[in-house]
Amino acid sequence: MNEATNARLQGDEAAWYAVTAEEAAKRLGVNAQSGLGIPEATERLQRYGPNRLPEAGKQSLLMKFLGQFNNILVYVLLGAGFVKLMLGLWIDASIILGVVVINALLGFVQEGKAEKALDSIRNMLSAEARTLRASETRMIASDQLVPGDVVLLESGDKVPADLRLIDVKNLRMEEAALTGESVPSDKSVTPVAANATVGDRHSMAYSGTLVVSGRGTGLVVATGSETELGRINQMLAAVSSLETPLLRQIKKFGYAITAVIFVIGALVFAYGRWVEGLPFVEIFQAVVGIAVSLIPESLPAIITITLAIGVQRMAQRNAIIRRLPAVETLGSVSRICSDKTGTLTLMEMMVVSAVTAETTYQVEGDVYAPDGRVLRDGAPARQDPVLDLMGRYTRSRPRSASSGRHSRRLIDASTRFPSSPSTALWRR
């Protein structure tokens, strides 16, 4: 990926919202009526790279495992264990080193489980975009979008990249994920002032925002890390991780007990060697024994097991904890103040049950996709007059005023979004 070229195209021309739609198309070198040609789109994909946010470099399994030993108490235990080995005290050394290894394995396994869960969520978030290429409307993976692509938007769509709108019809966008404003924003193709804030750029549709109603067409002007969402991602990546109170206390305790062990050990060694005249090996073994007795060998394992239990309890409530110490911090939280839409909910209405005069039905499916099942007492439901009536009613409702070319295709070309999300959730 030529990041310098990508930044030059998407950075120097940052004021896309301040120029006309015609000027934007001219700068991008694209005919808005036909879109990019296939060869040109392929060449731009090679030049600018895929439309995805860069992932942080992943550590190898070995480095992740070794990272579990990065603890002052573990350092002290390892030192004591190796000294025991050198003195030939195999049983004591095995117990100490066994505690250290078990502690590391518990943390390693839990971190691996959390990362797998997070990876599965990232895979679920993959999306497609409806684009106009070579005068044909086609669905492509959103990471294949390039600057200059013509993207078609309809109600319920998530914007796949930063777009300069060139045609809108009653288009309203929910931009809470980007601006924090829960009220949908009305969009237009009219240029705005060059110093307009993100929330006031009504001629733009930004990656990650949602189409609430209407339809529109836009030109891709920024992809990947050059989008507004990508810039936020870069700022978050630059934030240094903070130690939890528990880790700070453990580190402080580890330093304190290490200092105490060294002081006591030095005093005992000096007294036994130069006052009592004891042999070096004998007094050294005594000092090591005192040091090991002062070390709480089971403390790291107890802490890890306790935190792991907390992680499992959180997992049963569908909360993913990536790192064990986060459980302690989360346990001190009494209230979480959060915006509902887009955080606690997905802003995607879905029927999960239907109640008639005779019985209750359970409805399965995935948001707007029309491939769910209707169950009664866990088994596929038989024909029901009320459900049939509801189905005929929703199918008779007027569909979106958009043309067939702009209709959203979920399973096949005949499946379209209706004019209202509340109607769409019944048409599944």
Count the helices and strands in the chain (H runs, E runs).
Answer: 14, 11
Averaged pLDDT for residues 402-428 = 42
Averaged pLDDT for residues 204-228 = 91
Local confidence band at 400 (pLDDT 50, 70, 90 cut-offs): very low
Q: Please indicate whether residue 151 or residue 1 has the higher confidence score (pLDDT).
A: 151
- Look at residue 1 and tell me whether its pLDDT is greater than 50: no
Question: Which tokens in the block code for residue 101?
Answer: 């290894």
**Alpha carbon of 121 to those of 115, 172, 328, 378: distances in Å?**
10, 28, 24, 27
Q: CB atoms < 10 A from the CB of 333, how many?
A: 7
Q: What is the pLDDT of residues 15-24, one digit of tens each?
A: 899 999 999 9
Local confidence band at 170 (pLDDT 50, 70, 90 cut-offs): very high
DSSP string, 217-266: EEEEEE-GGGSHHHHHHHHHHTSPPPPPHHHHHHHHHHHHHHHHHHHHHH
Per DSSP, the three-state class of 9 is helix
- Look at residue 44 and tell me whether its pLDDT is greater than 70: yes
Averaged pLDDT for residues 24-48 = 93
Long-range contacts of 21-27 (CB under 8 A, 24+ apart): 21/164, 21/165, 21/166, 21/167, 21/189, 21/203, 21/219, 24/164, 24/166, 24/219, 24/221, 25/166, 25/219
Q: State the Cα–Cα distance between residues 160 and 133, nearest whole angstrom.
A: 16
Question: Which tokens in the block code for residue 190?
Answer: 């009219």
- Look at residue 28 and tell me whether its pLDDT is greater than 90: yes
pLDDT winner (highest mean) among 18-27, 280-289, 384-393 = 18-27
Q: Which residues are catalytic?
A: 339
* pTM assigned to the model: 0.58
Q: Which domains does the chain have, with CATH numbers?
A: 3-51+145-236 (2.70.150.10), 353-427 (no CATH)
Distance of CA 126 to the CA centre of its chain: 12
